[in-house]
Every structure is written in structure tokens, then in C-alpha cells.
Structure 1
Amino acid sequence: MKTFKRAAIAATILTATLTSQSAMAGWSANVGLVSDYHFRGIQQTESASASAGVDYAADSGFYVGAWSAEVEDGLEVDLYGGYGLELESGITLDANFVSYQYTGDFDSAYNEIGVSAGYGLFSVGYVNGKWDGAVGNEDATEGDYSLVTLSVEKNGWSATIGSWGKVFDGEYGEIAYGTEIGGFDVGVGLVVSGSDLDDSESLYFSLSKSFEL
């Protein structure tokens, strides 16, 4: 179960940015570096992790993309697509599918469907997914999982709390600040994981660059 909790994390550092990326029609790309790679409250690396991705967004609100990052053994490769829109009332809605694949023995695949809604400072999300199982023991350990998140964001500051469900339980909290310096996005964050996850606190720093193709 520990392996599952670590890897189910590895897929939505990107999910938080999908809606904003879909607002810009056309192709875009991104590269990044983070001192510790965390995802949904779980640490994916014990050292720095580099990442890169490419996205296509249509004026209609549909988007697709791919993103990859270093994990402890090999690479995590994420493939995703979805649809996002903003209503006249200011409410934002998004639905997406994400598949997380791994080149090494870090973990097996995760496939999930997610929906989210936001208004003003606040947003809420729900993910329902299926894990292929622990490497070498997939048939005995595969299972379904869910995640509920609540986030608030203002002036570069963001805070998220998340709660896992179905095959396991666990909660986490994350607070972060990001800004642009010299054309680069820089950030710092603190992740606090409950006893059912990593049971730890971790401070991380990030540097990234996005550009149109």
C-alpha cells in the first residue's frame, strides 16, 4: 500500500495547471526543476527532479498534453486530455482524464477521471481512479482510489487540503507561494502529510519556464 500512496501522487502536479493552460489556444511547452517532487501529499523523489511537458489547447476549451518527470526509478510519463470552461457567472468547470505510466520499477500505471469547479478564490476537485497494482504483484494489489481536494488561491499564494478514499485513507495539506522573476516562475511550498501517508513535513523550491510553440 505504501507504493500505491507514493505513485498515485505522481500524476497531478499538472492537473492544477490544466485549466489555466486551456485558456491559451495553441501549442505550448514547459520545463521545470523542483528540489523535492511531491504529489498529493506524497514525496516522489529524495532529491531534485527535472520535468518537461507539451500541451495543446483549443479555443473551444478542449486540451490534450503530455508531461514527464524524474522519479526514484526511471521516469513518470503522464498523458491527459479534458475540457474546461468559464460560465458568465464566473464559475469555472473542468473534466479530464489522466494516465500515469512509469518507465522503471517505481510503480505501475494509474488511470483516473477528474472533475473540478471553482469560483473566485476557491475551487474543489474530485478524482476517481484505478491503480494497476504493486510492481511484481499487480493481480493481488490492484484497486480503486479517490481523492477530494479543496483549494484557495490569491496573489500568488495557494493552499490545498486533500483526503484520499476507497482502498486507503490519508490526508495532507500544502501551502505555496509562486511569482515570476526574469521570465521564470519560481516558487516555494510546504507539504504536511498525515500519519496514513508520509507522516512528515517537507519544504520544497521550484523553478519553471513555459513558452508558446
Structure 2
Amino acid sequence: MKLNKLAALTALALSSTMASQAAFAEWSANAGVMSDYHFRGIQQTESASAYAGVDFESEEGFYVGTWGAEVEDGLEVDLYAGYGTELDNGLGLSVGFTTYQYTGDFDSAYNELNFGLSYDFVSFEYSIGDWDGVVGDEANTESKYEFLAVTLEHEGFYATFGKWGREFSGEYGEFGYGTEYEGFDLGVALVVSGSELDDSESLYFTIGKTFSL
């Protein structure tokens, strides 16, 4: 997530931390490559990044999983768990926990509570978390943050607006399209980051595959 790289943070919308699964498959795995890795408006790599993950979802709506990707120094490894459900009126609700860990000195850990709300083509994400701080100076730089995003989706196209708050602030927009072709998941997206992030525009591509286990 690298707050300190860009004045302090969908690569793949929640970056694959919650890969969609077929109703009959409790276990699934995903793997692929991104031309560069973005997460919530902040660029994590300046070159291609490989990723992979494994997910389990129960019939009752409980889920647990892990997802990892290459960053500039080592690996980012995410662990997450939670519960999601859809009411009879079509309203979707979810609550969970995510921890972002790093094998190198790219960044220190982030720990979040995640809340989701969705209806039809609109979804909202709200997360509140703690960052351990700058590597080597964690005790003096640890901080709290929150993140809010709204996403509109229609037939593979999506638009996300996200905003950071508390001890770190910034906003971004992401506009993209995803589809499946010959069994592969293909995506393209444009990320436009505000001045409090890195004040840039970046076009990136993804190719991956999801497997039922």
C-alpha cells in the first residue's frame, strides 16, 4: 500500500483480495500479471508485477483467503477473512478484516477493518486501519487512516472514486473494463491520482486466470 512513497496509498479493485467465485466452488485460486501494480490510487511498482491468491467461501457467506504480489522490494502478502450476504431485496452487506504484510523493506504492515454495501450496479467500501509506520522509524511514524470508495459497474465497465482520510489524505479515480476471453481474465484501467497522492495518470493492463479447486 506504500503510504510513505506518495506523500505518505482496484489494483484490480481491492486487488483481488476478494476474487469472485462460482456458487458451487468453495475453493478457488487466481494468478496473473499486471503491467504495473496500483492499489487505491497509489502505484506500487513501476514495472510488471505477478500475483496469485487462494480463497475459500462457505455456503453461509463466510470467506477467508490470501493474495500476494511482487512489489519493488520483496512481496506484499495479504491475509483476509470476513462475512458477506445478500438480502432478499438485493442489498449486499459485508464485514471483514485484512492485514497487508511485506517480506522486504518496501513498507511496514497495515491492518484494516473492512465494511461493504452494494445494491444493483453501485457498491461502497469503507475501511479503517492502522499503519505500523515508516520502515526503520515505526514508533515515531505509526498512524491511523480510513478509506472510502464508491464503484459503479455495468457489463464489465467500472468507475471508482476513492478517498483517504484521517492522518493521511488524498483521492483518486479509476476507470476500467474487464472481461473473460478463452478462459483468461483480461482488464485495462486508467488511474488518475490527485495532487495529495502522486498527481499522475497511469494506464495499466492485467491478464490472469481463476481456477476452481
Counterpart in 2 of 1:144? 144
For 2:41 and 2:174, the matched residues in 1 are separated by 7
Instruction: Specify the SS of the correspondent of 2:53.
Output: strand
Question: Over aligned residues, Cα RMSD in angstroms?
Answer: 2.0
**Match status 1:27 vs 2:27:** yes
1:153-168 equivalent positions in 2, closer than 5 A: 153-168=153-168
**Match status 1:66 vs 2:66:** yes
Counterpart in 2 of 1:87? 87
Deviation at 1:14, TM superposition (A): 2.5
TM-score by length of 2: 0.93
For 1:132 and 1:22, the matched residues in 2 are separated by 36
Counterpart in 2 of 1:101? 101
TM-score by length of 1: 0.93
Contact kept, 8 Å, 1:188 with 1:203, in 2: the verdict is: yes
For 1:148 and 1:205, the matched residues in 2 are separated by 24
Amino acid at match of 2:136: G
Deviation at 1:96, TM superposition (A): 1.0
Counterpart in 2 of 1:201? 201
For 2:139 and 2:15, the matched residues in 1 are separated by 28
Instruction: Specify the SS of the correspondent of 1:21.
Output: coil
Residue-by-residue CA offset, 1:15-72 (whole Å, 9 max, x unaligned): 4x35x33855411100010001000000000000000000111000000001100000
For 1:79 and 1:73, the matched residues in 2 are separated by 19
- Structure 2 vs 1, CA of residues 2 and 82 (structure 1 numbering), >3 Å: closer, same or farther? closer
For 1:4 and 1:36, the matched residues in 2 are separated by 15
Contact kept, 8 Å, 2:130 with 2:143, in 1: the verdict is: yes
Gap regions ≥5 residues in structure 1: none
- Structure 2 vs 1, CA of residues 56 and 7 (structure 1 numbering), >3 Å: closer, same or farther? farther
Aligned length: 211
Residue-by-residue CA offset, 1:136-161 (whole Å, 9 max, x unaligned): 00001000000110110000000000
Instruction: Specify the SS of the correspondent of 2:93.
Output: strand
Residue-by-residue CA offset, 1:124-146 (whole Å, 9 max, x unaligned): 11000000000000001000000
Instruction: Specify the SS of the correspondent of 1:197.
Output: coil
Contact kept, 8 Å, 2:8 with 2:168, in 1: the verdict is: no
**Match status 1:191 vs 2:191:** yes
1:169-184 equivalent positions in 2, closer than 5 A: 169-184=169-184
Gap regions ≥5 residues in structure 2: none
Instruction: Specify the SS of the correspondent of 1:3.
Output: helix
Counterpart in 2 of 1:3? 4
For 2:157 and 2:122, the matched residues in 1 are separated by 12
Residue-by-residue CA offset, 1:150-186 (whole Å, 9 max, x unaligned): 1100000000001100012100000010111110010
Deviation at 1:13, TM superposition (A): 1.1
Amino acid at match of 1:190: L
Identity of aligned residues (%): 59
For 2:123 and 2:24, the matched residues in 1 are separated by 20
- Structure 2 vs 1, CA of residues 121 and 94 (structure 1 numbering), >3 Å: closer, same or farther? same
